[in-house]
A and B are shown apart, each in its own frame.
Chain A
Amino acid sequence: MAIPPYAGPLETTWYFTFRFLCACIFLFLITPILVIIPLSFNIEPYFTFTSGMLEFDPDAYSLRWYEDFINNTQWTHSVKNSFIIAIASTILATVLGTLAALGLSKPHMPYRSLVMGLLISPMIVPLIISAAGMYFFYSNIGLDQTFLGIILAHTALGTPFVVITVTATLVGFDHSLSRASANLGANPTTTFFKVIMPLILPGVISGALFAFITSFDEVVVVLFLAGFDQRTIPRQMWSGIREQISPTILAVATILVMISIALLATLELLRRRGEKMRGISPG
């Protein structure tokens, strides 16, 4: 939307005002995330820029909070827990979700929209309600304060994303390919791994990423279900914010931002790959 050569003064003013407004909104979106990165190198235990930091005095910066993070067993423990829980629930959610999406995309699936609605429901029900329900039920069957309980809960919360992304990939799937494969003598398993899987892989991976981030970032269910031994990073941040607020949280936050940038880049690469496979390239 370049400014046209025939634009009058009013249009030029509006053009720049509009651009300025948009810039402000983009700033609103990105500033908080960028601000915490330098703050996490603050040598003082403050949440704001000291005068030394503004003068770029090297003594005002330090890795103090990162050291604190690495040397604190509570934090390192929570990192381990987060990864165990997120990886286990991602694998479960991806397998269950992909199978279900394959079933849902078959033209003969009965009660399709009802089943789809029920399978998607963990994404729609407010987390506090899910957490409360799971808390009662999982306590009754002895799954509270166990890794298994949290993994199952996070799997339930992550599957809708896998179902949605894989179903979306399957919308454009040409079913004659699997018929051709069967016609050429492949059994259903071979057909699945050699023909279907490579084609829907981008959808499966992005669904898995969503499931991973859902579990990795989830705190409400963990608040209700986890005991001290199952504390995850977000749970640790939660008590960090509520109880002893220290810039270690900012160091952790910075690391998490780096992880999200990596995730974002992976997704972008997947999208490009998908476009290339379909023969569309960005203009």
Chain B
Amino acid sequence: MANGNTQGEVVLAADGTPLKESLNKAMRKNRIRALLLVAPLFIFILFSFLIPIFDMTFRSVDNWQVGTLMPNTSLALKDWDGKAIPEEAVFEALIADLKAGAITREIGKVGTRLNYEKSGMRSMITSSARKSKKVKEGPYKPIVFKMHKKWKDLETWTVIKRNTSAYTIGYYLNAVDLKFDKSGEIVRQPENRQIYGKLFLRTFAISMAITIICIILAYPISYLLATMPLRYSNLLMIFVLLPFWTSLLVRTTAWIAMLQSQGVLNDLFVFFGFIDDANRLQLIYNLTGTIIAMTHILLPFMVLPLYSVMKTIPPTYMRAALSLGANPFVAFVRVYMPQTLSGIGAGSILVFILSIGYYITPALVGGTGGTLISNQIAYHMQSSLNWGLAGALGALLLGSVLALYTLYNKIVGIDNMKLG
């Protein structure tokens, strides 16, 4: 801004204020106006969406149960060195907590929480709480030992002591198949309990497979659509857009009708004699069903970005390559394909992001072999009610999606996202 600000000579606006000041004022006004327009939605999204998400991920580290419901024991265990069974004072505190917890009926929550860390803790806590009502006076140590034999284990106390802190990494350890061992060291879960690592790997593998199938299927039809005259390609585009706009549940239902053992496809195969009636193919309620249905659902998300990139490639480049002596295959691979890479990248990330978080289709057609990580999150939300673990699995999934999204934003830019 060259405003001739030399030797105290200040350029003035029409109303006599210095131009710079007046300009700043106008800019500030504009900025405030822009902010005011965005503010309603921002506040709305903050309260209806961002805070709930934050609240859920917070549950994955939240560890209020022991500290809040067993305050005396937590305090008494503060200076315990963890080398031997604690002193009498701790047992006195424990009895006080168990009694209070039995009256409020809240002690079960402590039991449930500790049971996630070590099985058997729930029954130990609840039965001890029940028995604690009759306890009159000390010494408490032998009384507690009689309540449940596990109180004699050093590990019981290690687990309780560890969970007196308000935050835990226990759920995250669980979500990546790790756990605390007897002495409190972090070790791997035994082989038969390593489920989440495998599930994450499977989710990534399935999403990768779906992405690759989508690239293979989308590439030829996008090429056809992009090179055809617009009149025909607009018509053919309906084949891509109609599935895109059709309800997810409709498409899933349609695939059930197509793929089930008494369904259309199996009937066709039997009719043409590919298979006999007794050996109908099991195409659904397994991994195959999940992959077929999800590929169908996500294919438009690959076609649309690929098409819009291919549309911008001038056909002259290919002609130039051909006239310079390249055979059609070489020309295609070395001249055409590199120009479509950004479209492949954008489509792949989009399809991958959508498929690793998919819930509905795997839940309906996946059976037991085709479920993904989100189905496990739903299971812990609705059935096992281990919300901390659901939060930890959700946070890990969210983290990977956000990382991929950042990548997408780098490649494509959110402003260039096209819909429909």
Contacts and interface: CB of A to CB of B under 8 A. Distances in A.
A138 interface: yes
A151 to B, nearest CB: 10
B276 to A, nearest CB: 17
Nearest to A137: B52
A219 B248 contact: yes
A79 interface: no
Given A33-B251, A122-B49, A132-B381, A127 B264 contact: no
A230 B360 CA distance: 19
Nearest to B413: A113
Contacts of A249: 253
Given A29-B239, A110-B35, A219-B360, A48 B262 contact: yes
A132 B386 CA distance: 12
Interface in A236-267: 237-238, 241-242, 245, 249-250, 253, 256-257, 260-261, 263-264, 267
B360 A134 contact: no
Q: Label chain B's interface by main secondary structure.
A: helix
Contacts of A33: 242-243, 246, 250-251, 254
Contacts of A168: 415, 418
A128 B241 CA distance: 25
Interface in A11-68: 11, 18-19, 21-22, 25-26, 28-33, 35-36, 39, 46-49
A102 interface: yes
Given A22-B221, A156-B45, A264-B241, A133 B55 contact: yes
B247 A29 contact: no
Contact of B264 (A49, A107, A152, A171): A49
Contact of A30 (B30, B239, B401): B239
Interface residues of A, number: 94
Nearest to B53: A133
Contact of A109 (B31, B55, B417): B31
B50 A121 contact: yes
Contact of B397 (A110, A129, A155): A129
Given A100-B42, A156-B45, A253-B253, A108 B243 contact: no
Q: Pick the most buried of A25, A96, A107, A167: most chain B CB atoms within 10 A of its CB.
A: A25
A283 interface: yes
B254 A32 contact: yes
Nearest to B391: A132
A74 to B, nearest CB: 16
A26 to B, nearest CB: 5
A121 B257 contact: no
Contacts of B258: 31-32, 35
Contacts of A100: 37-38, 40-42
B274 interface: no
B237 to A, nearest CB: 9
A100 B34 CA distance: 8
Given A99-B40, A126-B357, A22 B242 contact: no
A40 to B, nearest CB: 10
B357 A129 contact: yes
Interface string B199-230: 00000000000000000010011001001111
B22 to A, nearest CB: 15
Contacts of A155: 44, 48
Given A36-B257, A130-B53, A165-B419, A106 B30 contact: yes
- How big is chain B's contact interface, by range? 35 or more
B387 interface: yes
A119 interface: yes
A103 B251 CA distance: 37
B41 A126 contact: no
Contacts of A108: 27, 30-31, 34
Contact of B45 (A106, A118, A126): A118
Nearest to A267: B420
B381 A135 contact: yes
B149 to A, nearest CB: 37
Given A33-B251, A132-B377, A133-B52, A21 B401 contact: no
B53 A125 contact: yes
A161 interface: yes
B351 interface: no
A237 B249 contact: yes
A91 interface: no
B169 interface: no
B142 interface: no
Interface in A143-178: 152-153, 155-156, 159, 161, 163-165, 167-168, 171
B136 interface: no
Contacts of A35: 254, 257-258, 264
21 contacts: A19-B224, A35-B254, A35-B257, A39-B264, A104-B34, A106-B30, A108-B34, A120-B414, A121-B50, A125-B357, A127-B357, A130-B49, A132-B390, A134-B52, A138-B52, A156-B48, A171-B415, A234-B249, A237-B249, A260-B245, A283-B229
Which 5 pairs across A and B sit closest by C-beta, in order of nearness? A126-B357, A103-B37, A137-B52, A32-B254, A133-B52
Interface of B: 27, 30-31, 33-42, 44-45, 48-57, 59, 217, 220-221, 224, 227-231, 234, 236, 238-243, 245-258, 260, 262-264, 267, 296, 299-300, 328, 353, 356-360, 364, 374, 377-378, 381-382, 387, 390-391, 394, 397-398, 401-402, 405, 409, 414-415, 417-420
